[in-house]
Amino acid sequence: MNSPTEIIVASPGRINLIGEHIDYNDGFVLPAAIDKHIYITLKKNGHPSRGAVMSKGFDHTLTVDLNNLGRGTEGWHTYVLGVINEIQKITTAVKGFDCHIESKVPVGSGVSSSAALECGLAFGLNELFDLGLDKWQLIKIGQRAEHDFVGTKCGIMDQFASVMGRAGHSMLLDCRSLDFEYIPMNLAPYRLLLLNTNVEHNLSSGEYNVRRQQCEEGLQLLANRFNIEKSFRNVTDEMLKKSKTELGQTRYDRCSYVVEEIQRVLKAVAALKEHQLDKFGQLMYQTHEGLTKKYEVSCPELDFLVALSKNEPAVLGARMMGGGFGGCTLNLVHEDAISAFVDKASIAYKNEFGIDLTYFQTGPSQGTSLVH
């Protein structure tokens, strides 16, 4: 079969309704792809081993030598090179190509522009060169690119959401078995509103990997002590309490958050299925509390916005979303109150931090796909 000469891929960012920082802890997550995409145009250039990649907004072209990838000189290069590097571990079928990237996914906002880029490029190269990779391979290529080239030891949630998204649905993913279920999202008359602190997070700065390490150490200790298979799914509150001294306060807090959040996602999904949006909102607030106090991945700007929303009867729930340390809060807001809430939050936020708040509404959308 002939490959198409030029293709355009749309690869979405993601939201996560609940289940934060537990994708790498054998937990459950509830993400959805969003209607903001990175667009990647790809065509073969006939060269056996040279690629040229342009990204809108950056004036310089990344020249890719397929025989000697190197590391690149700018942040976005690592995602591109990392993906190619992973694909080359599977197949040598990728040859010279020209690529143009245009992002409509806000960067550093916790909606995973990075996974959108990784998955979009992997998807596009798969189509262009008929590599025959399945969706799970694309997801894992994106994740490993992030681990090995970018340096963030991320979980699987972002790449999964970007590739598997379905319009009108969130996805309950069991990050231990990788089984998942599409959950119809009926939030009416409420909507999902993202408030962007415009404080940029940077996961590779190390705090993300530190959290992962602390959980890993805590879990190892619990597994040894109680002779259980090493998974947070086997850890109970009782075990945690008994091991508080051994774990030390920090590891205890991290592990305790993980165990609670795993339970919380299941409660949240049950609430969603029953259209108990009040209850769902309360669980969002609880997650935020845990992320702030026990997991310590929030920041004053995020905490301020969540605290503010608690005084608004039209907001059922709010929390920081994604890796943390900046980015967006996710808010469940009555559709009639959105503009009044945004106005109020914008003024209060500007007064407090001198930063302009930005916002957007979004909803679950289709995963990475061909535009043509």
CB-wise, 112 or 365, nearer to ligand GLA?
A: 112
118 lines the binding site for ligand GLA (CB under 6 A): no
Q: What separation in angstroms does the CA of 205 have from each of 200, 202, 288?
A: 12, 6, 22
What DSSP line would sit under 42-107, residue for residue?
EEE-S-SSEEEEEETT--SPEEEETT-----SSHHHHHHHHHHHHHHHH-S----EEEEEEE-SPT
What DSSP line would sit under 92-160, residue for residue?
S----EEEEEEE-SPTTSSS-HHHHHHHHHHHHHHHHTT----HHHHHHHHHHHIIIII-----SHHHH
How many positions of this chain bind ligand GLA (CB under 6 A)? 11
Smallest gap from residue 23 Cβ to ligand GLA (A): 5
Smallest gap from residue 160 Cβ to ligand GLA (A): 9
296 lines the binding site for ligand GLA (CB under 6 A): no
Candidates 11, 18, 20, 83; binder of ligand GLA (CB under 6 A) is: 20
322 lines the binding site for ligand GLA (CB under 6 A): yes
Q: Which stretch binds ligand GLA (CB under 6 A): 15-23, 185-193, 333-341, 357-365?
A: 15-23
Name 99's Cβ contacts closer than 8 Å, sequence gap at least 6: 40, 41, 42, 51, 52, 53, 54, 80, 121, 124
Instruction: Cite the active site residues.
Output: 158
Q: What separation in angstroms does the CA of 172 have from each of 17, 42, 222, 282, 321?
A: 10, 32, 27, 19, 16
323 lines the binding site for ligand GLA (CB under 6 A): yes
23 lines the binding site for ligand GLA (CB under 6 A): yes
86 lines the binding site for ligand GLA (CB under 6 A): no
- Residue 298: half-sphere exposure toward Cβ, Cα within 13 Å: 24
Chain centre to alpha carbon of residue 22 = 11
> Are 197 and 305 in contact, with CB atoms under 8 Å apart?
yes
Query: By rule CB under 6 A, what string of x and - marks binding of each residue 132-171 to ligand GLA?
Result: ----------------------xx-xx-------------
Q: Which stretch binds ligand GLA (CB under 6 A): 16-24, 83-91, 166-174, 341-349?
A: 16-24
CB-wise, 116 or 133, nearer to ligand GLA?
A: 116
| Of 38, 50, 159, 59, nearest in space to 94 by CA | 50
Candidates 78, 112, 170, 196; binder of ligand GLA (CB under 6 A) is: 112
Which of positions 24-83 make contact with ligand GLA (CB under 6 A)? 24
Q: Which stretch binds ligand GLA (CB under 6 A): 17-25, 68-76, 134-142, 360-368?
A: 17-25
Smallest gap from residue 158 Cβ to ligand GLA (A): 4
- Interface positions with ligand GLA (CB under 6 A): 20-21, 23-24, 112, 154-155, 157-158, 322-323
